[in-house]
Amino acid sequence: MPMRQRRHRHKESFSVLLISNTGQNAKRFHVGVSCLRLLMLFALCVCAAFVWLAYRYVMASESAASHVNASEVTRESELLDQVVEQDKSIQQLEEEKEALNRRIDELTAENKALLAAAKTSKTESAEDGVAAGVEADPAFPSRYPYSETGEVFQKFTESDPYVSINTGDRGSVVAAGDGTVTYVGSDDDYPLVIEIEHGNGYRTRYMLPQEAEALREAGDRVQAGEALAAVGEDNLRLDYQVIQDGRPIDPLIVFEAKG
């Protein structure tokens, strides 16, 4: 019986020799082809996994960057919209401000016109009342309060509600109308003050800033033109006041009403 001839399979392998630096120890390793193929396959898998992870990382970064850019664009658009709205609000407020300024100017002009008209009406009413008083009442204080010709050098104002007359160095202070002397005395500003009540809502005050001799006493009845105080060399000024219903008025109105 003939015998079968066996075929021997040869296994290929690789030898790896490890030699130390000193040369005393050396090791040899045998690595088969199949094992080497497995190692190479594993290395390829690792490389493929690394490439896939890198790709995912890049894609995620790009997605995040695009999302951030989209958010920034949206935020910039919102800010621009807010700026536009604020510009519109500012423009509207400026227009309202201009309209209010125009209205204020109009109201101011109207107020000035009304005040001027009221003042004119008030003056005309006072002058009409004064003129009527001259004709109707002989006690109306329409006479000039100085016996000689005197010059008015300070007119009536709200702060100084009287007229100042330069009396010179002669003559006398006289009653501007019929009435009763209610006061003869002095105050902090005037050494001599004489007051006459005329009984028709009018009262007159004669104020001398220098020492002078009073010729009348409180309670005396006087007529228009009668002397109240003598004017000497040291008495060169008379402050004269007319009071109507408790309110000072311009004495020049009385003089003009007299004609």
* pLDDT (tens digit per residue) in 102-141: 888 888 888 888 888 776 665 565 555 555 545 456 678 8
Do 159 and 252 share a domain, yes or no?
yes
Residue with tokens 């040869």: 10
Residue with tokens 């227009």: 95
**Rounded percentage of the chain residues whose pLDDT exceeds 90:** 25
Which amino acid would we find at residue 88?
K
Which amino acid would we find at residue 63?
S
pLDDT at residue 174, rounded to an integer: 93
Q: What is the DSSP letter of 199?
A: S
Sign of the alpha-carbon torsion through 191, 197, 198, 203: positive
| Domains identified in the chain, total number | 2
Which CATH number characterizes residue 177's domain?
2.70.70.10
Of 147, 146, 253, 256, nearest in space to 202 by CA: 253
Residue 220 structural domain: 151-258
Do 253 and 159 share a domain, yes or no?
yes
The model's pLDDT over 185-222, given as tens digits with 9 standing for 90+, comes to 999 999 999 999 998 889 999 999 888 889 999 999 99
Q: How many CB atoms lie within 10 A of CB 224?
A: 17
Q: Is residue 195 part of a domain?
A: yes
* pLDDT at 31 > cutoff 80: no
